[in-house]
Structure 1
Amino acid sequence: MKTLKFKTNIQCSNCLAKVTPKLNEQSGIDSWNVDLQDPERTLTVETENLEPDDIKKAVLKAGFIANVK
């Protein structure tokens, strides 16, 4: 399993509610979390086989940006 980390523009719990369905429907994600207390709003994803671009696309579908840290 690999851990991917992204800097995001997910700012609040309402934003998190918008991105949750997109990440939950992305096959290949074992778990994920956004640290809203972190100034970089770090998204951490545990996956077996996904690449960073797969995660970035899922986040973008919700209207947010994720850049690899």
Structure 2
Amino acid sequence: MKQYQFKTNINCSGCVAKVTPELNANTGIKEWNVDTANPAKILTIETKNLGQDELKAIVEKAGFKAEVLA
């Protein structure tokens, strides 16, 4: 498993609800979480076989920004 973190603009429970179907629909994503209390709105994704670019595209498809954190 690989874990990636992204700085996002997923700000509230409504935003989380909007991105949830996109992330849950992908079988390559094992687990994910958004820390909306963190000023950077950190999205952590644990994946079996997806890369950073693929994960970023999924978040952007839902209408949000995602910046890869080193």
Q: Structure 1 CA distance, aligned partners of 2:65 and 2:26?
A: 16
Amino acid corresponding to residue 68 of structure 1 in structure 2: V
Unaligned runs of 5+ in 2: none
Unaligned runs of 5+ in 1: none
Give RMSD over aligned pairs.
0.7
Structure 1 residue ranges (4+ consecutive) displaced by more than 4 angstroms after TM superposition? none
Structure 2 counterpart of 1:13: 13
TM-score by length of 1: 0.95
Q: Structure 1 CA distance, aligned partners of 2:27 and 2:59?
A: 13
Matched, 1:2 2:2: yes
Describe how 1:18-33 pairs up with structure 2 within 5 A.
18-33=18-33
TM-score by length of 2: 0.94
Q: How many residues align?
A: 69
Structure 2 counterpart of 1:34: 34
SS state at 2:7 partner: strand
Deviation at 1:27?
2.3
